[in-house]
Amino acid sequence: MKNLIKNLKLKRRAISALAAVHFYGNPSRDMKIVGVTGTNGKTTTTTLLYKVALSLGYKAGFIGTGGVHVNGKEFVMDRKIPTTPDPLGLSKIFREMKKEKVEYVFMEVSSHAMDQGRVSGINFTGGVFTNLTQDHLDYHKSFENYFEAKKKFFKILPQNAFALSNSDDDHGKLMLEGIKVDHYTYGFSGGESFHGEIFKLDFQGLEARFNSANIKSKLLGKFNAYNLLAVFGVCDLLKFDTEKVLKILEDVTPPVGRFEYFIHDGITVVVDYAHTPDALEKVLLTAREIKGENGKLISVFGCGGDRDPLKRRIMGKIGASLSDIAIFTSDNPRNEDPMKIIQEMKTDLSMNEIEKSKFIIDRKEAIVESVKLAEKGDIVVCAGKGHETYQEIRGVKHHFNDMEEYKKLLKSNE
Contact 153, 171 (CB under 8 A): no
Instruction: Provide the pLDDT for residue 316.
Output: 97
Instruction: Provide the pLDDT for residue 120.
Output: 81
Instruction: Provide the pLDDT for residue 83.
Output: 67
* Domains present along the chain, CATH in parentheses: 2-251 (3.40.1190.10), 260-412 (3.90.190.20)
Q: What percent of the chain has pLDDT over 70?
A: 89
Instruction: Provide the pLDDT for residue 15.
Output: 45
pTM to 2 decimal places:
0.81
Question: Which pLDDT tens digit goes with each residue over 106-156?
Answer: 999 987 777 787 888 899 999 999 998 755 555 545 767 778 888 899 999
Instruction: Provide the pLDDT for residue 26.
Output: 59
Instruction: Provide the pLDDT for residue 149.
Output: 80
Question: Which pLDDT tens digit goes with each residue over 266-283?
Answer: 999 999 999 889 889 989
Of residues 412 and 88, more confidently modeled: 88
Instruction: Provide the pLDDT for residue 2.
Output: 47
In angstroms, the CA 160 to CA 178 distance is 15
Chain centroid to Cα 291, Å, comes to 23
Q: What percent of the chain has pLDDT over 90?
A: 68
Instruction: Provide the pLDDT for residue 23.
Output: 42
Mean pLDDT of 231-254: 95
Of residues 39 and 408, more confidently modeled: 408
Question: Which pLDDT tens digit goes with each residue over 292-334?
Answer: 788 999 999 999 999 889 899 999 999 999 999 999 999 999 9
The model's confidence at residue 22, banded by pLDDT at 50, 70 and 90, is very low
Q: Sheet of 297-301: strands edge to edge? A: 260-264, 267-272, 379-383, 297-301, 325-328, 357-359
Q: Is the pLDDT of residue 354 over 80?
A: yes
Question: Which pLDDT tens digit goes with each residue over 54-80?
Answer: 999 999 999 998 889 999 999 876 555
Contact 112, 55 (CB under 8 A): no
Q: Which residues contact 353 (CB under 8 A, 6 or more apart)?
A: 317, 320, 321, 326
Question: Which pLDDT tens digit goes with each residue over 167-202?
Answer: 999 999 999 999 989 999 999 999 999 999 999 988
In angstroms, the CA 243 to CA 263 distance is 32
